[in-house]
């Protein structure tokens, strides 16, 4: 471990001393975090990085005693907190009764969770949830003052029209706005330590930058009441470079290295850290053949939804335009990357191409041509038969795989629909062949999704799509939920499969590094319009539009 582990900390606010978390007992006892020593100083920004299963989130949850049921903790977590101003010694959070921990939660240590839609109550307005946080920790303040404080917090976190958004429900806000609302709730009681668990994973690059800048600004403002420290949990190494003062690297519960961010990234001591730092996806694309046939084509593709407000008593509400006359050609063996901010229409484009908007309130105009067939005018029977040629891989492999089906059932499900005459032996043979292609052992056949890592689940999702021998794959953020090293492996697999089977990919992503590694051409969407389209390297090096320049600049900063 690096010798700089604690040398730069003058005033520890939170200190892990020989801290461990384990599950089970006796020979079956497994350590999720093992003998961790780490300090977080007053006003400091520390990033805790590592792959899935490294113990990052368990380490972050432990000070608030939110570890899962059945977890056993040992060692000490020393907290100076607000009592330190009175000259009191640090307290061991692991020894405190739970009622005392409840007094610390929110007041002294606050947490921003990864997915605001799960953390926010869908039945209450954003304003009410912030008011509730203020009332719990400041019971003597009047309701009017609570509302005023909540609106002020929404304004401070950069939410537009805070007085109006106070009465909005979580589903009525964008992803970035929901995350800002979560930060507003966390800061309601001016905590000394803010723990942010993957606060930007689901956000596009420009929103990531905004959230980081917001946290820095709020930390600077906190100096008036003693200064706030931030513990950032993330697997986004580019984000860490531009945010954290120090970085700690975990691997399978062990602290591999800790030190100043620049030193760890530029001169890592540990082999694991070196591998992690060098996990950028590699561009290894085969060129598109000059006379390659066009497999997917759109012309003037537009999608709109009913508006939420009527213009008058006698007029229907105006429609909300999500896509506006989008046109492109995707050739055999080619990848077109689609980028843009949240709400730019990326996912809607993918769903329209797949023909998955037909049962919604969407109005679709323009042409979608799949393998020479007008996708919009195909009869349902014909379209269903063609679906084997056009498959999709979604962002969240855990959400897209049925928890009640084992791997054999998941991967063979498409065969049952498109090739019902296959015998049981032929079906199993095809499943085993495709699992071998994606690097999954035959022992996985009878196992269920929860028994696999995120990278393995995504490989299973890829196998499910490929077993039908498609010609076109729509990849909707296929690696955003994965760690950088696993992401690199999955992208290398997709590149290898494209070369072997001459597949065409429509890749939707907010990660510029992924787009750069995987795409022959890039389409930039803004408010449903194509603002720029061209060769990937040319576009990244010489963007013409201001919006594109800002998007790429934000990606490099985060």
| Residues 269-295, mean pLDDT to the nearest whole number | 91
Q: What is the pLDDT of residues 38-56, one digit of tens each?
A: 999 988 999 999 887 788 9
**According to the model, what pLDDT value does residue 319 have?**
73
Phi, psi of 549 (to 5 degrees): -60, -45
| Residues 117-131, mean pLDDT to the nearest whole number | 87
Of 121 and 117, the one with more pLDDT: 121
What angle separates helix 205-221 from helix 546-557, to the nearest 10 degrees? 60
Confidence of residue 451 (pLDDT cuts 50, 70, 90): confident
What tokens appear for 174 in the block? 């964008």
**According to the model, what pLDDT value does residue 9 have?**
47
pTM for the structure as a whole: 0.77
**According to the model, what pLDDT value does residue 307 have?**
63
For the chain, helix (H) and strand (E) counts, in that order, are 21, 20
Phi, psi of 427 (to 5 degrees): -65, -45
Measure Cα distances from 340 to 180, 474, 543, 545 in Å.
Answer: 20, 16, 14, 13
Closest alpha carbon to 156 in 243, 245, 222, 225: 222
**According to the model, what pLDDT value does residue 282 have?**
87
**According to the model, what pLDDT value does residue 5 have?**
45
CB neighbour list of residue 356: distance below 8 Å, 6 or more residues apart: none
What tokens appear for 411 in the block? 């991967």
Q: What is the pLDDT of residues 54-79, one digit of tens each?
A: 889 899 999 999 988 889 999 999 99
Candidate ranges 78-82, 217-221, 332-336, 438-442; pick with highest mean pLDDT:
332-336
Q: Show me where the domains of the chain are located.
A: 12-108+228-277, 294-307+320-557
What tokens appear for 407 in the block? 């791997």
Q: Are strands 294-305 and 363-370 parallel, antiparallel or unpaired?
A: antiparallel
Q: In the block, which residue shows the tokens 């709020």? A: 218
What angle separates helix 126-137 from helix 143-156, to the nearest 10 degrees? 120
Q: Hey, do 12-108+228-277 and 294-307+320-557 end up sharing a CATH topology, with the first three levels equal?
A: yes
Of 235 and 390, the one with more pLDDT: 390
What tokens appear for 145 in the block? 């003052």
Q: What is the pLDDT of residues 355-407, one digit of tens each?
A: 888 666 788 999 999 999 998 888 888 888 888 999 999 877 777 889 999 99
Closest alpha carbon to 124 in 185, 74, 210, 40: 185
For the ranges 58-62, 266-270, 450-454, which has the lowest average pLDDT? 450-454
Quote the CA–CA distance of 243 and 326 in Å, as a whole number: 37
Quote the CA–CA distance of 89 and 186 in Å, as a whole number: 26
**According to the model, what pLDDT value does residue 473 have?**
96
Is the pLDDT assigned to residue 558 strictly greater than 70? no
Helix ranges restricted to H, 109-198:
116-119, 126-137, 143-156, 162-165, 175-186
Q: What is the pLDDT of residues 454-499, one digit of tens each?
A: 778 889 999 999 999 999 999 998 887 677 778 888 899 999 999 9
The 3-state secondary structure of 55-87, one letter per residue: CHHHHHHHHHCCCCCCCEEEEEEEECCHHHHHC
Q: What is the pLDDT of residues 195-232, one digit of tens each?
A: 998 887 666 777 777 778 888 888 888 877 678 899 99
Mean pLDDT, the chain, whole residue set: 86
Q: What is the CATH number of domain 294-307+320-557?
A: 3.40.50.300
CATH 3.40.50.300, domain 12-108+228-277, yes or no:
yes
DSSP character for 1? -
**According to the model, what pLDDT value does residue 202 have?**
62
């Amino acid at each position: 471990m690096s010798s700089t582990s604690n040398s730069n900390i003058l005033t520890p606010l939170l200190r892990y001393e020989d801290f461990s978390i384990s599950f089970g007992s006796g020979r079956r006892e497994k350590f999720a975090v093992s003998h961790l020593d780490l300090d977080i100083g007053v006003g400091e920004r520390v990033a805790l990085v590592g792959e899935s299963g490294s113990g990052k989130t368990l380490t972050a949850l432990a000070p608030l005693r939110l570890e899962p049921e059945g977890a056993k903790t040992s060692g000490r977590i020393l907290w100076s907190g607000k009592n330190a101003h009175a000259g009191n010694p640090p307290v061991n959070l692991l020894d405190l009764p739970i009622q005392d921990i409840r007094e610390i939660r929110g007041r002294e240590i606050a947490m921003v969770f990864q997915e605001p839609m799960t953390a926010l109550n869908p039945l209450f307005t954003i304003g009410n949830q912030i008011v509730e946080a203020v009332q719990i920790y400041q019971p003597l303040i009047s309701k009017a003052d609570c509302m005023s404080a909540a609106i002020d917090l929404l304004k401070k976190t950069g939410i537009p029209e805070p007085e109006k958004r106070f009465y909005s429900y979580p589903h009525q806000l964008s992803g970035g706005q929901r995350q800002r609302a979560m930060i507003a709730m966390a800061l309601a009681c001016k905590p000394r330590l803010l723990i942010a668990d993957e606060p930007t994973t689901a956000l596009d690059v420009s929103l990531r930058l905004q959230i980081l800048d917001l946290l820095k600004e709020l930390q600077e403002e906190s100096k008036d009441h003693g200064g706030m420290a931030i513990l950032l949990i993330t697997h986004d190494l580019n984000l860490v470079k531009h945010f954290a003062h120090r970085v700690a690297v975990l691997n399978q519960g062990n602290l591999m290295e800790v030190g100043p961010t620049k030193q760890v990234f530029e001169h890592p001591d540990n082999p694991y850290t070196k591998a992690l730092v060098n996990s950028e996806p590699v561009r290894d694309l085969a060129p598109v053949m000059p006379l390659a046939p066009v497999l997917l084509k759109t012309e003037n593709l537009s999608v709109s939804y009913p508006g939420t407000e009527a213009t008058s008593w006698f007029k229907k509400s105006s429609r909300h335009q999500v896509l506006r006359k989008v046109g492109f050609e995707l050739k055999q063996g080619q990848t077109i990357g689609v980028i843009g901010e949240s709400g730019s229409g990326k996912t809607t484009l993918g769903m329209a191409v797949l023909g998955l908007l037909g049962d919604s309130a969407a109005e679709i105009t323009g042409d979608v041509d799949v393998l020479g067939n007008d996708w919009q005018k195909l009869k349902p029977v014909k379209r269903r038969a063609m679906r084997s040629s056009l498959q999709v891989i979604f962002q969240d492999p855990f959400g897209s795989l049925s928890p009640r089906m084992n791997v054999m059932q998941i991967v063979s499900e498409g065969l049952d629909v498109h090739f019902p005459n296959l015998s049981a032996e032929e079906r199993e043979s095809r499943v085993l062949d495709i699992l071998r292609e994606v690097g999954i052992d035959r022992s996985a056949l009878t196992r269920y999704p929860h028994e696999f890592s995120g990278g393995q689940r995504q490989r299973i999702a890829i196998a499910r799509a490929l077993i039908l021998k498609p010609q076109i794959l729509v990849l909707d953020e296929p690696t955003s939920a994965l760690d950088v090293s696993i992401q690199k492996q999955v992208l290398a697999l997709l590149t290898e499969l494209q070369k072997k089977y001459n597949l065409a990919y429509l890749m939707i992503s907010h990660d510029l590094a992924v787009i750069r590694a995987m795409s022959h051409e890039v389409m930039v969407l803004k408010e449903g319009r194509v603002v720029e389209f061209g060769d990937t390297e040319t576009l990244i090096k010489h963007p013409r539009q201001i919006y594109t320049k800002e998007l790429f600049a934000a990606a490099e900063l985060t």
